[in-house]
Structure 1
Amino acid sequence: MQKRKSTFSILFFIKRKKLLKNGDAPVYMRITIDGRFLETSLKRGVNPKTWNEKKQRSTGRDRLSIELNDFLDSTLSRIYKIHRQLIDDGKVLDPKAVMTAFHGKMERPKMLREVFRQENEKYRQLLEIGGVVLGTVLRYERTERYLGDVDDMPFRTIDNEFVRDFFLFLKVEKKAEQNTANKYCKNLKKVIRFALDNGWMDVNPFQGIKFTAKNTTREFLTEKELTTLINKDFCIERLAQVRDIFVFCSLTGLAFSDVAALRPEHITIDDDGNYWIHKARQKTKNMCSIPYLESARVIAEKYREHPSCVAKGVVLPVLSNQKMNSYLAEIADVCGIKKTLTTHIARHSFACLALANGVSMEVIAKMLGHSDIKTTKIYAKVIDRSIAEQMGALASKFGSQK
């Protein structure tokens, strides 16, 4: 297929409704390339009665009209030269590039990683005022670092192939799971959208690309497994501490970032003497209203004088998420739990155990701080699948006998 020829035109015109103080109309120039255009004032004026729109010149015979027409002729010649130079240099060819050169400077193309870093700095500023959570900021910064494994490039050179190669790089080189790779590509897509909105690129490189999410099984602890965890004696202090925090989350439904930021002021007592945790989620800012069970209060009381809690003004001495997950792997092994324990499984366990014990979906959504009950219904599917699997095993034991 023959490549479509680029279109290019220059138009001189006046604005009759924006007259200058002396009554002249300001003269403007419009550059159009492939349907896109930009306008600029030429800092010249003309008597609107002498302007010929068809010829794009003044019909006056006075000295000022002659000088204006000479200026327009030289401007026209200069714009054509700039246009030709951009083509010869293989540079970006659009109205903005031509106009920038006309005003005396060639615009440096916007670079992907440079803009990505600038956007990440904004996320860091939002983090300081609570506009985003740390996990979001770290994921965007990690995306930018992964892009650093390839040379920085102008936005206009990013194409469909680059996006697909980046996704493959995440899967193969970084060993990212399907859904994790999707998140990194989603971060890239947001910056690409920003570039498109600012006119730094014309074609969306994500056009026609669809990243399919992989269905994942949300693991949770059964009552028996959680009881085993609670009753286990640990002689190693760090394991006992991590186990206590995991159990606390299993009894409250708090996510890792929320339990790490839990303070005494988040705990209240109602008129009936019932204890509550009222706290906005770090991730969504949705308010959680959670009954503060006595078993959870006993754990918190155990660490009330812990140096870390006193220094930070928090309820529990929560370690980093990485350390927590590392120690939880040890704990699962010691307790004989054949599941990959992570901090988030505690939240899943809370939701599933609450459902299994007859707590309504609406109440669980309120406790977890979900803004949409559809999110909460995921746990109902987990429960249904677990029941189906167990009944399937039962059916195999008591199948029909011939």
Structure 2
Amino acid sequence: MFYINRSRPTKNGDCPINMRITINGQSLAMFTKRYVQPEVWDGKLGMCKGKTSEALEVNRYMEAFKANAYNKYADLNALYDQATPELLRDAILCVNTSKSKTLCTVWEDHTHDLKLLIGKETSYANYQKYCTALKWMKQFLLEEYRVHDVPIKLINRQMVVKFEVFLRTKKMCNYNTTIKYLQNFKRIVMIGFKNGWLKINPFADFKLTLREVDRPYLTEKELQNIMDLEIMIPRLELVRDLFVFSCFSGLAYADLFKLKASEIECDPKGVLWIRTRRQKTKVKAQIPLLNVPTFIIEKYTDLSILKAEEKVLPVISNQKLNAYLKEIQTLIGLEKSLTFHVARHTFATTVTMMNGVPIESVSRMLGHKDIKSTQHYARIVDTKIGNDMTDLALKMGSRLSFPKAAASV
């Protein structure tokens, strides 16, 4: 309905004409960009009285305004399960919020926000994962549906299943990689679900559980071979030293990259400690440094002259670091695939657990939120279990045995 706002007249006495939109009991008013003198306005009919050219022009304008509103309302009903007065107003005014939210647009907005939060609440690696997942989604939509984007309200369980098949077959992703991309997809879908752009959660009964995988680590001999390797190329020497530092500290790449002077303290015994918060989990990690990592720090910097915010080690990009590790792998003839994260696994197994460090202490040094994460490493340390049982057998001797078994011994 149309009415005039008598409380907001102009200097010459004209009153603005407003249109009230009411949908399912919810209403709001919007300005029609027209004014009229109060005496020519018919409040009951919601239009101008008389046959003057001015009155006829205003009435024609309002009829067109109303027809446009009904057309926009029909369009909104095709895009949304429930149109609202706010959506209709924005559609009439051609404001973007009245447009249907699309999957790739919401995804791009999310990755843009992640990029701004790198180093604060997220990592560059996490940002990259969302970008890659978005790239695969766009390719999937083009191949499967012949479109570049889809309204987020149209996402259903069938699309989730098809995207999973696409990742496993067309992109040749393994199970866990596929699950991680689906987790990225779910994150975007939940943004739409929580904002009301999507009425049914297509992931409601979709389990995204990662499978347990073997965590590669170096044996003591393999680690020593890397440390003994004579390297004449400075870039490879740096990479070897950074890798070994992580083997003896357990720092992930992101935590080593951001390690600054203020995060290293010296206790009364002269032992250096790393006290930091993990980039990934924000959990505090406290690690006493052994001789090897202490030597590496002293090789590249002087802590006494570093400012609090200055980085301790000259860490290069993760991509280059892993590429150069492949060269070191070839030089020592190592059959295992050498990546920087192998160093963290080596710290958890070969350096600590196999040498009797309690799992609780290892968990604290690794900065795990839950000790269950550390128990994954405990399951693969078969050598330690064997040694422990051998020691137990020696301690017990024949104290607990059947008489016949003791006699035979």
User: How does the TM-score come out when normalised to structure 2?
Assistant: 0.71
* SS in structure 2 of the partner of residue 194 of structure 1: helix
Aligned to 1:144: 134
**Which of the residues 94, 97, 117 maps onto 2:81?**
94
Cα displacement (A) at 1:154? 0.8
- Residue 201 (1) aligns with residue 192 (2): no
The equivalences for 1:283-362 within 5 A come to 283-304=280-301, 313-353=310-350, 354-362=352-360
Q: Which moved more, 1:321-330 or 1:187-196?
A: 321-330
* SS in structure 1 of the partner of residue 230 of structure 2: coil
Cα displacement (A) at 1:247? 0.7
Please give the alpha-carbon distance, in whole angstroms, between the structure 1 residues aligned to 2:87 and 2:235: 62
The equivalences for 1:111-122 within 5 A come to 111-122=102-113
Cα displacement (A) at 1:209? 2.7
1:362 alignment partner AA: E
Aligned to 1:39: 26
Aligned to 1:20: none
Please give the alpha-carbon distance, in whole angstroms, between the structure 2 residues aligned to 1:342 and 1:84: 57
- Residue 214 (1) aligns with residue 211 (2): yes
The equivalences for 1:171-186 within 5 A come to 171-186=168-183
Please give the alpha-carbon distance, in whole angstroms, between the structure 2 residues aligned to 1:133 and 1:182: 19
The 1:274–1:193 alpha-carbon spacing in structure 2 relative to 1, beyond 3 Å, is same
2:129 alignment partner AA: R
The equivalences for 1:112-261 within 5 A come to 112-127=103-118, 130-149=120-139, 150=142, 151-261=148-258
1:368 alignment partner AA: L
The 1:372–1:207 alpha-carbon spacing in structure 2 relative to 1, beyond 3 Å, is closer
Q: Which moved more, 1:354-363 or 1:138-147?
A: 138-147
The equivalences for 1:100-111 within 5 A come to 100-101=87-88, 104=92, 107-111=98-102
Please give the alpha-carbon distance, in whole angstroms, between the structure 2 residues aligned to 1:251 and 1:192: 41
Please give the alpha-carbon distance, in whole angstroms, between the structure 2 residues aligned to 1:236 and 1:228: 17
Please give the alpha-carbon distance, in whole angstroms, between the structure 2 residues aligned to 1:42 and 1:302: 72
Please give the alpha-carbon distance, in whole angstroms, between the structure 1 residues aligned to 2:251 and 2:27: 57
1:310-346 residue CA offsets vs partner (Å, 9 max, x unmatched): 9x94222222212222222222222232211110110
**Contact 2:363 2:374 (8 Å CA) reproduced:** yes
Please give the alpha-carbon distance, in whole angstroms, between the structure 1 residues aligned to 2:21 and 2:70: 16
1:14-54 residue CA offsets vs partner (Å, 9 max, x unmatched): xxxxxxxxxxxxxx98645xxxxx611469xxxxxxxxxxx
The 1:40–1:246 alpha-carbon spacing in structure 2 relative to 1, beyond 3 Å, is same
**Which of the residues 256, 259, 263 maps onto 2:260?**
263
Please give the alpha-carbon distance, in whole angstroms, between the structure 2 residues aligned to 1:355 and 1:123: 36
**Contact 2:28 2:86 (8 Å CA) reproduced:** no
Aligned to 1:376: 374
Cα displacement (A) at 1:116? 1.2
2:287 alignment partner AA: I
**Contact 1:163 1:205 (8 Å CA) reproduced:** yes
User: How does the TM-score come out when normalised to structure 1?
Assistant: 0.72
Please give the alpha-carbon distance, in whole angstroms, between the structure 1 residues aligned to 2:235 and 2:363: 32
Aligned to 1:273: 270
1:179-201 residue CA offsets vs partner (Å, 9 max, x unmatched): 12211111111111111111112
* SS in structure 2 of the partner of residue 239 of structure 1: helix
User: Between Structure 1 and Structure 2, how many residues are aligned?
Assistant: 332
The 1:285–1:85 alpha-carbon spacing in structure 2 relative to 1, beyond 3 Å, is closer
1:96 alignment partner AA: A
Please give the alpha-carbon distance, in whole angstroms, between the structure 2 residues aligned to 1:313 and 1:42: 57
5+ residue gaps, structure 2, are 2-19, 31-40, 47-62, 143-147, 390-409
Cα displacement (A) at 1:256? 0.8
2:250 alignment partner AA: G
Please give the alpha-carbon distance, in whole angstroms, between the structure 2 residues aligned to 1:208 and 1:84: 34
1:290-320 residue CA offsets vs partner (Å, 9 max, x unmatched): 1111211212222228xxx99x942222222
Please give the alpha-carbon distance, in whole angstroms, between the structure 1 residues aligned to 2:270 and 2:192: 55
Please give the alpha-carbon distance, in whole angstroms, between the structure 2 residues aligned to 1:31 and 1:384: 68
1:375 alignment partner AA: S
1:206-258 residue CA offsets vs partner (Å, 9 max, x unmatched): 23333442321001111111111111212333222211111110011111111
The 1:42–1:319 alpha-carbon spacing in structure 2 relative to 1, beyond 3 Å, is closer
Cα displacement (A) at 1:146? 2.3
Sequence identity (%): 33
5+ residue gaps, structure 1, are 1-11, 13-27, 33-37, 44-62, 69-73, 392-402
